[in-house]
């Protein structure tokens, strides 16, 4: 593997001149410039990233923290992040925390080692606040994407979860439902909380008292949502919720399957909605009505913002709220055309 010295020797110039040519940092006479370029080609030279990074104190790498890349919410966001990063010459470290603070600690450590120049955090728990704040205190760029973390002084790109909750509830209300349940996420999830708040607001506006049993927290996964739906299915038909809004599409799939297993027809006996608009929500056999979350856009904007932050002096924190929209399909029974 050749070094800058080899190039300098081969081209008959100094290492400084080689560096000037490679980085375009000073004028170099055409003749020497050409000799440098030729030497680079001939020796197939690629500069060493560690040496460069040590000197200029940057790694040209950003970190992306997700709780679990195999959760279908994240791949689109991760893709956006990588697309943008590539474009700007940055690499992406992917870190799955599995919601363990230990993993977040490792990520923060990578930041302090200088392995990454900035961090995009899609899932930060309460327990991670102090850790992330310690980075921010050192002026290390951190952008929250998707999930906010109250009390953390970082940039935030999120979608309009409150509006999403309203949209969902109003859709059900417009279809004539009154007993509308909301299968929320785990207690303390700010995403879930905002969506529930929107739902509650819409219900209030409609003059409906929301029964405690209608808002059931739990894991936004298939299995747990399935179980929660089974509870509803076992209630008497005249008290059972006629509409179920789910905090995630994956959870909605569990609800759909539980309903079918219990002999309830969708949408005749129960209307079902999700959140996210995953690819699978569009399948003909599913056709889930849902609130679309702009996942790619979340990742794109978070990465653009992070890269803007890197190297720049501290600026005003940004808080971007992306619009969401209702995607009407079949599971609430109101599809317009092709049924």
Partner DNA sequence: GTATGGCATCTAATCGATTAGACCGGAGGA
Partner DNA sequence: TCCTCCGGTCTAATCGATTAGATGCCATAC
24, 41, 285, 336: which one binds a second copy (CB under 8 A): 285
Least distance between a second copy and beta carbon 148 (Å): 24
| Segment contacting a second copy by CB under 8 A, of 70-78, 123-131, 198-206, 321-329 | 70-78
| Segment contacting DNA by CB under 7 A, of 24-32, 95-103, 124-132, 315-323 | 24-32
CA torsion sign, 178 to 181 to 187 to 192?
A: negative
Q: Is 334 in contact with 175 (CB distance < 8 Å)?
A: yes
9, 32, 115, 262: which one binds a second copy (CB under 8 A): 115
Site for a second copy contains 187 (CB under 8 A) = no
Residue (of 92, 97, 122) closest to 107 by Cα position: 97
DSSP 143: E
Both tokens assigned to 60: 């040209």
Tell me the backbone φ, ψ of residue 145, rounded to 5 degrees: -125, 130
CA distance 79 to 120: 13
Site for DNA contains 246 (CB under 7 A) = no
| Segment contacting a second copy by CB under 8 A, of 82-90, 148-156, 228-236, 269-277 | 82-90
Q: What is the DSSP pairing of strand 289-292 with strand 271-276?
A: parallel
C-beta of 56 vs 174, nearer to a second copy: 56
| Segment contacting a second copy by CB under 8 A, of 7-15, 24-32, 86-94, 321-329 | 86-94
DSSP string over 195-250: HHHHHHHHHHHTT-PPPGGGEE---SSHHHHHHHHHHHHTS-TTTS-SEEEESSHH
Least distance between DNA and beta carbon 13 (Å): 4
Site for DNA contains 15 (CB under 7 A) = yes
Site for DNA contains 273 (CB under 7 A) = no
Least distance between DNA and beta carbon 5 (Å): 6
CA torsion sign, 266 to 190 to 162 to 317?
A: negative
Least distance between a second copy and beta carbon 249 (Å): 11
Least distance between DNA and beta carbon 32 (Å): 4
CA distance 275 to 266: 17
Q: Is 7 in contact with 38 (CB distance < 8 Å)?
A: no
Ranges within 53-82 binding DNA (CB under 7 A): 54-57
Site for a second copy contains 46 (CB under 8 A) = yes
Strands (E), the chain: 61-66, 91-96, 118-121, 142-145, 155-159, 180-183, 215-216, 243-246, 271-276, 289-292, 319-322, 325-327
Least distance between DNA and beta carbon 21 (Å): 9
Site for a second copy contains 31 (CB under 8 A) = no
23, 48, 231, 239: which one binds a second copy (CB under 8 A): 48
Residue (of 71, 126, 69) closest to 278 by Cα position: 71
Site for a second copy contains 257 (CB under 8 A) = yes
286, 305, 307, 332: which one binds a second copy (CB under 8 A): 286
**CA distances (Å), origin 222, targets 25, 213, 246, 271:** 56, 20, 11, 17
Contacting positions for a second copy (CB under 8 A): 1, 46-51, 53-54, 57, 59, 61, 64, 68-72, 74-76, 78-79, 82-83, 86, 91-96, 103, 106, 109-110, 112-115, 138, 222, 253, 256-257, 260-261, 279-280, 283-286
Contacting positions for DNA (CB under 7 A): 1, 3-5, 12-20, 22-23, 25-29, 31-32, 45, 47-48, 51-52, 54-57
């Amino acid at each position: 593997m050749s070094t800058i010295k080899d190039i300098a020797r081969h081209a008959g110039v100094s290492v400084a001149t080689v560096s000037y040519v490679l980085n375009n940092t000073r004028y170099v006479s055409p003749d020497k410039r050409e000799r440098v370029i030729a030497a680079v080609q001939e020796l197939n030279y690629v500069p060493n990233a560690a040496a460069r990074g040590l000197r200029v104190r940057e790694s040209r790498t950003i970190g992306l923290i997700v709780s679990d890349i195999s959760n279908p919410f994240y791949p689109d966001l991760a893709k956006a992040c990588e697309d943008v990063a590539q474009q700007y010459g940055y690499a992406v470290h992917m870190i799955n925390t599995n919601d363990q603070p230990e993993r977040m600690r490792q990520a923060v450590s990578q930041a302090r080692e200088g392995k990454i120049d900035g961090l995009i955090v899609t899932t930060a728990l309460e327990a991670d606040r102090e850790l992330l704040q310690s980075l921010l205190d050192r002026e290390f760029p951190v952008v929250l994407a998707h999930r906010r973390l109250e009390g953390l002084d970082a940039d935030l790109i999120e979608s309009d979860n409150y509006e999403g909750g309203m949209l969902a509830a109003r859709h059900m209300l417009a279809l004539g439902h009154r007993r509308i349940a909301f299968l929320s996420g785990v207690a303390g999830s700010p995403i879930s909380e905002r969506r529930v708040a929107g739902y509650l607001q819409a219900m209030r506006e409609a003059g409906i008292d929301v029964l405690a049993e209608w808002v059931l927290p739990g894991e936004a996964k298939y299995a747990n949502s399935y179980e929660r739906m089974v509870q509803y299915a076992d209630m008497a038909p005249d008290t059972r919720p006629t509409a179920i809004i789910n905090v995630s599409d994956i959870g909605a799939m569990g609800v759909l399957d539980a309903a079918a297993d219990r002999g309830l027809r969708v949408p005749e006996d129960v209307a079902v909605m999700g959140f996210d608009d995953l690819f699978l929500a569009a399948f003909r056999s599913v056709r889930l009505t849902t609130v679309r979350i702009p996942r790619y856009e979340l990742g794109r904007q978070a990465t653009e913002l992070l890269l803007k932050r890197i190297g720049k002096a501290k600026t005003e924190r940004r808080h971007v709220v992306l619009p969401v929209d209702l995607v009407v399909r079949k599971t609430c029974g109101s599809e317009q055309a092709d049924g």
